Every structure is written in C-alpha cells, then in structure tokens.
Structure 1
Amino acid sequence: MALVRRVKEMAPAVSVIYQDGRDADYKSLEDYDSHAISLISQLYRIVKTTVVSWCNLQLVMNPDLAPIGNLTSIDCALGWLGYHILALARLNAPTLQTFSISSRFDIGICGLIRDPFGNKYVDYPCLRSLTMNNAGVPAILQRSTFEGVVPFPSLQRLAILSHYPYVDDVLFRGNRATLEILNIALYPETVAMLRKYDVFTPTSHPKLRVCTCSFMEDGPSAFNAASSYLKFALSIAPAASMRVFPGLSEFRETVQPALSILEDYTGIQVLSLPHVHLSLWKAIVLIKALPVLSDLHTWAPILGAIPQGGSEAGLPEHVRSTHSPMGKRFRCWHFECTQLDDLGGVARCMLLLALACPNFDYAAVDKDYRMPFMDEIRQQIAEPWFNLYAPRLQRLLFTDFIE
C-alpha cells in the first residue's frame, strides 16, 4: 500500500476521490490482479467523499472490493448493466447527495427506491440532486404504487429528462418545501400522473424558482395547442423566476397568439423560448408586461410589420418616443442564428430595442455569427436615422456571445 501512503504524504488533506472510467472496459476482471483491487479499496478508505463516474461498474461492485463507503455522488452513463449502478446507489443511500444516470435502455429505475430481491424500500435522506435520462426509451412502469414511501425528503434539484418511470407521485413526495429546480419532460403519461395526484398547486412548492418544462409528443399529445401547453407548464410553480419552454415551437401557428399568456406571470426574470422567432413588437409587449425580466432567450428575432403610417427610417424616433423608457431591468437578449436568418434585420431589432430599454446592453449571439453581427450593428449605426443616437447604441458593440 505504498501508493496509498504516498497519496496521503503528498496531499494530507485529501478528502475527495473522483474516479472516472468512461474509456475503460471492465466486462471482465481477469486483467486486474488482487493488488489493484486492494489498492482501490484502500484509496476509498482514506477519504470522506467518493465520486464515481463510470459507464460500467463491474469493477466497483466486484465482491473482492470492500463496499464503497461515504459515496456522495454518482454520475453514470450506461449502455447496460444498470443494476450495478442502482445497487451501488442503494448501498450508499445514507450518504448519497447527487445521483445522475443516463441510459439508452430501460434499466429498471424502480430499483433505485426498492430492493428488487428483498422488496425493501430505500430512502435517501441526504440526496439533493436527482437526474434521470432514459434517452427517450419508455421505462417499464412500476405497476404498484409506493404508498406512504418518501424516498427523497431533501431533494432540491430534480431532472426527469425522459418518460416518468412510476405510476404515482413517489418522486415528488416529502420535498415540496425543498425543491428549487425542476426540469421535466412532459410526456402524455407524465402529464396524466401530475394531474391525477395534483402534484403542483399555486402554493405547493414555495422555493421552486427555476422550471424547465419540455413538450414531448409521443403518440396522442397531452396538449392540443401551444396555449394549453403553456397554461399547464406555468401552473407548475407559477412563482418561478426562470422559465424555459423547450418544444414550444412544435405548435407552429398557435405559438405567437399563446405568448400573451406569459404576460400574467410578472415574476419571470429569465425567459427562454427555444426555436421561437419573436417579432420586435411582441418582445416589446412581453418586456412591458414582465417588469423584472432581465434575460430573454429565443431564435433570431424578426422586425415584423412596421406600424401603420410609419416608415423604416422613422422607426428609431417612433420606438424612442412611444416606448421609452421601458423594461428598466431588461439587459440581455440571447439569440441563436442560422445562415437563413437576416442578420441585418436582427441588428435593426436590437438597435431599436436599445432605444426603448435604457439598460439593454447585451445582444448575445452564437460565436460563429458574432463578427458579421457586429459589422451589421456598425453599418446600421452609420445610417442617418440611427446615427443620431450613436452614443447610446454603440454600447451594443461590446456585446457578449454564446459559447
């Protein structure tokens, strides 16, 4: 155990081991002698925290290796052998704080909270973060409900990025007062479960502030239009300050009319509408309606129809005199582009918005389009109708960009 002693000598305060074996193949332990097994076991004993990030945990679960104690974090992407990672989680249930599992197959995730052999229920009193991603493969649902079971009483972050694997609300029990971040894929069966068990009410989750609700269509849709999707998603933590709506663009022609629903949720500070093109005029309406909105994430904006009786040359003065000052907390519009988007039109939108919003300084664009976008900004400012406001508009030249 000379290596273990050297580790302690070189780093006497070491308290964490991060073990990553993503590029290794442990289907067989024949390549590992008893010294390697013993070494790993000794290393685990000298620390207080162990993080395992492996695709295959046969080595970790080998009977010749002493059970890993003090395990606080598991982050695992699996192609198979999910029972190993679930067994490891159950073994360390008293200390586990974060658990993330991603798989291309159904791995029987129900085994996380129930021993498949002894039928004993397992709770995780210290777990703060739970992420499940079954890569779009429907889980084999646990048909019986976990009545009275509260497995995650301290959960603060919950991400269900695939089909919800249970028929009841077991993941949401006992953590109404602690849950702060939720990322959930709204498959039809998930929506049905949330409705059946009345999981979310206007006052049920007082700390929930970040909410991502992805529209997922798998067979019959749970929603017939963008408005019904938005209403349901907003009913999950109506006081959340950061809202993300992936999949909204799938509703196509019903998206723009439905956006008016957002105007009633005045506590939104960060709003993300992936793949949705907003017109400048719709953005102005939203910014006015959401007084604490600071960040907006969309697809490349479009100018939209010029107000009746106006002209493009007269737009700067029209926007400044009609809408300024507004959105005093609004500071950043993140947008994504493709080669098909009109960067000149996007630049006009940003410059016009800057004339209405006194603190709007950042037009955050994908790095591949940053330089051509900056060129468009400079060219537009040089035009007579924008040049009058050049000192204010030049602040956009120090724009950020999306990595």
Structure 2
Amino acid sequence: MTPRVVDIEVLPKPFHYGEESRGLYGSLVTQLFQLAKRITYCDGRATSVPVELQLNQICNLVHISFDIELEPNPFVLLAQRSSLTLQSLSIGPNSYVGLEGIIQETEGNYVAYPRLHMLKLFEMHRSDSGDLPTCPGVVPFPSLRHLHMDICHPFGDDTIFRGNTATLEYLKIELDYRSYHVFSEYDVFTPVSHPKLQCVDITFFGDGARGPDLDAADYLEYVLNIGSQATVRTINGHMDDNELALALYLFEDFACIRVLSLPGLCWLEFVDVIELIKSLPLLSDLTTSPTQLKLLPEDVTVDEFPEFMITVFAGLNDQFRCWSFMQTGVGNEVVRSVLLLALVCPNFSYAVPLPAERKEFMKLMEETIATDYFQEYTPSLRRLLFDGWNGKQD
C-alpha cells in the first residue's frame, strides 16, 4: 500500500531498461500523485511522459510545478481541474505553453483560480511578432500575492493583473516597449494601485527594445514608478548606467527603500554609490556590480584625505549596513570604498562579495587596512573585518 504523502517531486532520468520497468515506474508515480496535494514534475525537453503516467483522474491539488516540453501538455489540464483549490503554480522554461492556455479551456471557456496566491512563469512561450493574446472580461487570479515572470508580459491586455490590485505583495517582471504600451493603455500601474506591493524586481530593456516612439526619460520614469512605495527593489536596466544612476538618486518617491539591488549597473563610480545612499534615508542594504569603481581623484593626497572624506560623506544616512557585490574580480578600489564606508557609516557591518571571491577579498582588506590612508583607523577596521564581515555569509 502506498503511504500517505503530501509533497511529491519527480525528476525523471532517461530510461535504460525494459518496457515492464517503465510501466512500473509510471504506475508508482501515478499512485503517488493521486495521494499528494503538492506535485512537482521536471522533465526538461522530454518528448513524452512515461507510458503509464495518467493524470486525468487527479484533481484538487494545492501546488503544481511542471517543466516538460509536450504538446498538448497534460499538466495544463491538471491545473484546470485543480483551479478551485490551487494556491501555487509554477510553469518551467521548457513547457511550451502560453498562459492563455492555463486560463482558457479547449472549448473556449475561461477558468479562474480564486485561491491562487503564487504564480511563477519561467520563459514561457510568447509571440515576438503579431498581436499578443487578450482575454477580455475574465478575472483569473483575484487573490494573487506573488507574481514572478521571467518573461515580458504575455498578454495584450491587463488579464494577469485584474482583480488583485489590493492583494499583490511581490512582483518580478521583465519590461519591453510592448509591455510598456500595454501597461500604459490599461493603467496597470498607477500611483494608487497595488498598495500592498512591498517587493519589486524589474528587468527592463532599453535602446532598441524601447521602440522608436518611446522617449527614454518617459520610459525610465515609468519603470521607477512601478510600485514606488515598495521597500525592497531590484532594478536591472539595459540602458545607459549614468542615466539610470542619476534618475535613481533624483527620484523622490524612493525615500522608503530599505533594500536596493542594481545588478546591471557596472560603471558606477564611488560618488554615485554615495549619492544613492544619501538620497535614500532608510537604505540599509545595497547590491551593485561596480566593475569600474573609481574611488579618489588622482590629486587627493594622504594629507588631504580627511578633508575629502568630510566633503564627500556629508549628509550620509546612518541606516546603511550592508554592501554586496555581484561581479567577479573585486579589486583594490572596491575594498578601499568599503573601508571608507565603514569609517563614516556607524551601522555599516557587512561587505559581501561572491562566494568565490571571499578569500581574495579578505586578503585585500587586510593589505589595504595597513596602508597610509587607513593606518590611523586600523583597530576599528580590524574589529569590523573579523566580527562583522566574517559573520555574513550570504
């Protein structure tokens, strides 16, 4: 007798044995799925499910996650049969299915998911030419709290966002000029929409992806206004770094940000980082990729160093505590910048490089603390080096 289970995760491997064993495997998986409330099936680019795996008797699941290349996809029908109970749905990058297939039956009837709280879409099929699909009138996800889309908006209207403006708390999306025009036309994001949105992660495409009729400044302003009240933000912009950096520390509505990640900004100078911290009074955690970070003007000497610090750091907020780096090859300028922040920010405690960079980073920290610029502050910097930065591993 199959034991009672709640969660089942199946990661099939290529079969190298007879048809009898293959059928036994399929029968076992089918029985487990029939007893489970939460199932995950990831088979990548498989062309068929095991011959004995039958899903048509399964329904009323709470969680479904699938990643399998099949047409038609049996997990789509499984999601529809579980529409009244489903709370979490994740569709993998190899699942050749558009979201309209999830919310519309083959007969044309629409399907709503009244209890769905989390929806994750990874590189779903989306037409890059022609008109995007629309689903007028349907409200498929009225209780959605967590929306994660590693794709640009797959609809030509506001289908996904209907009915959940009062519930959405987390949003991860990609934005191009087609998405921008859809969101603008349907007023998806306004200053008063989505009042509970606290975490926003946007990857937006500039330059050629903006389209000829879209002004860069208007586009950037729209991006920054999406969930402007959110306290945790990731902004990954494929456009001019200086343009984005300037917009960020001039954008007054960002005063509530506590955690900010800018993985796409590679050419930030140290003064840009400082201006960001100054302009965001509540900022405590910052993530950047400063591959070309320039610390001091060439004419600043050791004797002039204290006065330079006073000038640059005047008005710096006292909330800042953690600076993380997403690039490889963290060099001397980054290390010196970290030490400067440690001296002027009373709560700055963590500098977090990538795991592979930690050993070299700590070595550079030791060497830099011993230089003329920082010799006077060696005791306090050493204490932070070992008590603070060693303590944050992620």
Aligned pair 1:399/2:389, yes or no?
yes
Shift of 1:269: 0.8
Cα distance per residue 1:177-226 (max 9 Å; x no partner): 1100101110221111100000111111111011111113595515553x
Report SS of the residue matched to 2:316. Answer: coil
Q: How does 1:180-259 map to 2 (within 5 A)?
A: 180-216=169-205, 220-222=209-211, 224-225=215-216, 227-248=217-238, 250-252=239-241, 254-259=243-248
Choose from 67, 75, 89 the match for 1:85: 75
* Corresponding position of 1:149: 138
> Distance in 2 between the 1:293 and 1:57 partners?
49
Question: How many pairs does the alignment contain?
Answer: 384
Letter in 1 for 2:176: Y
State the identity %: 33
Aligned pair 1:166/2:148, yes or no?
no
Aligned pair 1:345/2:333, yes or no?
yes
> Distance in 1 between the 2:29 and 2:358 partners?
48
Q: How does 1:207-356 map to 2 (within 5 A)?
A: 207-216=196-205, 220-222=209-211, 224-225=215-216, 227-248=217-238, 250-252=239-241, 254-276=243-265, 277-300=267-290, 302-306=293-297, 310-316=300-306, 318-320=308-310, 323=313, 326-339=316-329, 343-356=331-344
Distance change (3 Å), C-alpha of 1:310 and 1:285: same
Contact 2:369–2:381 at 8 Å: present in 1 too? yes
Q: TM-score, normalised by structure 1?
A: 0.83
Letter in 2 for 1:88: L
Contact 1:106–1:140 at 8 Å: present in 2 too? no
Q: How does 1:94-105 map to 2 (within 5 A)?
A: 94-104=84-94
Choose from 348, 355, 364 the match for 1:360: 348
Shift of 1:23: 2.7
What residue ranges of structure 1 are gaps of 5+ in the alignment? 8-13
* Corresponding position of 1:378: 366
> Distance in 1 between the 2:224 and 2:347 partners?
27
Shift of 1:59: 4.7
Letter in 2 for 1:279: E
Larger mean CA deviation between 184-193 and 72-81 belongs to 72-81
Letter in 2 for 1:107: V
> Distance in 2 between the 1:64 and 1:369 partners?
48
Shift of 1:348: 0.9
Give the CA RMSD over aligned residues.
3.2
Report SS of the residue matched to 1:131. Answer: strand
Shift of 1:303: 3.1
Shift of 1:85: 2.2
Shift of 1:24: 4.7
Q: How does 1:50-129 map to 2 (within 5 A)?
A: 50-55=38-43, 59=49, 67-81=57-71, 83-104=73-94, 106-116=96-106, 118-129=107-118
What residue ranges of structure 2 are gaps of 5+ in the alignment? none
> Distance in 1 between the 2:286 and 2:361 partners?
18
Larger mean CA deviation between 257-266 and 183-192 belongs to 257-266
Letter in 2 for 1:198: D
Contact 2:66–2:95 at 8 Å: present in 1 too? no
* Corresponding position of 1:10: none
Distance change (3 Å), C-alpha of 1:229 and 1:22: farther
Letter in 1 for 2:115: C
> Distance in 2 between the 1:147 and 1:136 partners?
20
Larger mean CA deviation between 194-203 and 158-167 belongs to 158-167
